[in-house]
Amino acid sequence: MLTRNEIDKYNDEGALVVEGVLDDVTRQHMKNVLADLVERSRSVKIHDKVYDLEPGHSSEDPRVRRIKAPHMVHPVFADFMRSPKLLGILLNLLGENVRLHGAKLNLKSPGFGSPVEWHQDWPFYPHTNDDLLAVGVMLDDTTVENGALYIVPGSHKGPTYDHHGADGRFCGAMDFAASGLRFEDAVPCVGPAGSCSFHHVRTVHGSAQNHSKRPRGLLLYEMAAADAFPLMGIPDYEDFKKRLLCGKETIVPRIVDCPVRMPLPPALNQGSIYENQTASAKRFFEASEVAK
Ligand SMILES: O=C(O)CCC(=O)C(=O)O
């Protein structure tokens, strides 16, 4: 459970880091599973249902950018999202009824792990209310050098920015320079391995390339209050119900007046945020190959 100060900080700033949420044994298990998945990516040539690949990936030099839907790939990732410690924190931030929206695991490997351009999660998956957040489980000690996620405090109370800088198509990235926000105000979510960051669905965030020699794995769970219903629809209602992690399901959405932009027309390059953002006309974070 969180303290009153931690809950206030999340509400004021739109983000919070809590240390010691993931125990070391489970974390090591996750790291072993990941090492095996990267090894198996040697036979994968293009992005598929499991892998999003870094530019330059090859069978000799496997480079995995993301494991898509890790909770569907290995039970260690499905089990942790139901752990009492994590659900206890979510109860404080989202209420007692919580549903998983989706999950992903960004590897950000030493030397080449790709940046993620500034964005809000909200325009990717707008809902009837904005009681949603992303949990970032730090699989490694996370610092600015290995590509910590930056958030702009208070931005969750501001506008929903245009993420359509690809000739009017959704591209999953905002024009940070034009937003009036300042990088000097952004705060990195850093912490020892096992910490979790929690950022509100409307909080502006992004992260630089990993320029260090240390990995930065970030396991992301997108969590929603169970009465937040996706405005893009529910393609599979049985699956929607199965994703309830605690509390009760409902068919009565709570509707709150907050600024929404739909991810339409859909991104030209589908598959992941990395692919979506390749169509963005503007870039803030540089991506360059550095010596390993
Ligand atoms: O991995 C990161 O640093 C950023 C993750 C993120 O914002 C995303 O994948 O939507």
Q: Which atom of ligand 1 is nearest to the CA of 108?
A: 1
Query: What is the structure's pLDDT at 289?
Result: 61
Query: What is the structure's pLDDT at 1?
Result: 87
Domains and CATH numbers, the chain: 4-277 (2.60.120.620)
Q: pLDDT tens-digit profile of 236-266?
A: 999 999 999 999 999 999 999 999 999 999 9
Query: What is the structure's pLDDT at 291?
Result: 40
Ligand 1: which of 118, 138, 156, 220 to mutate, most ligand atoms within 8 Å of CB?
220
In sequence order, the 6+-apart residues with CB closer than 8 A to the CB of 290 are 111, 112, 211
> What's at 246, amino acid-wise?
C
Query: What is the structure's pLDDT at 286?
Result: 84
User: What is the distance in A from the centroid of ligand 1 to the CA of 102?
Assistant: 13
User: What is the distance in A from the centroid of ligand 1 to the CA of 93?
Assistant: 20
244: β partners: 99
Q: Which atom of ligand 1 is nearest to the CA of 148?
A: 3
Query: What is the structure's pLDDT at 7?
Result: 98
Residue with CA nearest ligand 1 atom 5: 116
What predicted TM-score, i.e. pTM, was given to this entire model? 0.97
Ligand 1: which of 171, 212, 273 to mutate, most ligand atoms within 8 Å of CB?
273
Query: What is the structure's pLDDT at 283?
Result: 87
Q: Which stretches of the chain score pLDDT less than 50?
A: 291-292
Alpha-carbon distance values, 96 to 93, 131, 159, 224, 274 (Å): 9, 12, 27, 11, 33
Percent pLDDT > 90 in the chain is: 91
Q: pLDDT tens-digit profile of 199-232?
A: 999 999 999 999 999 999 999 999 999 999 999 9
User: What is the distance in A from the centroid of ligand 1 to the CA of 255?
Assistant: 27
User: Which residue blocks in 124-266 are alpha helix, DSSP H?
Assistant: 176-179, 237-242
Query: What is the structure's pLDDT at 64?
Result: 97
In sequence order, the 6+-apart residues with CB closer than 8 A to the CB of 173 are 117, 118, 119, 163, 165, 276, 277, 280, 282, 283
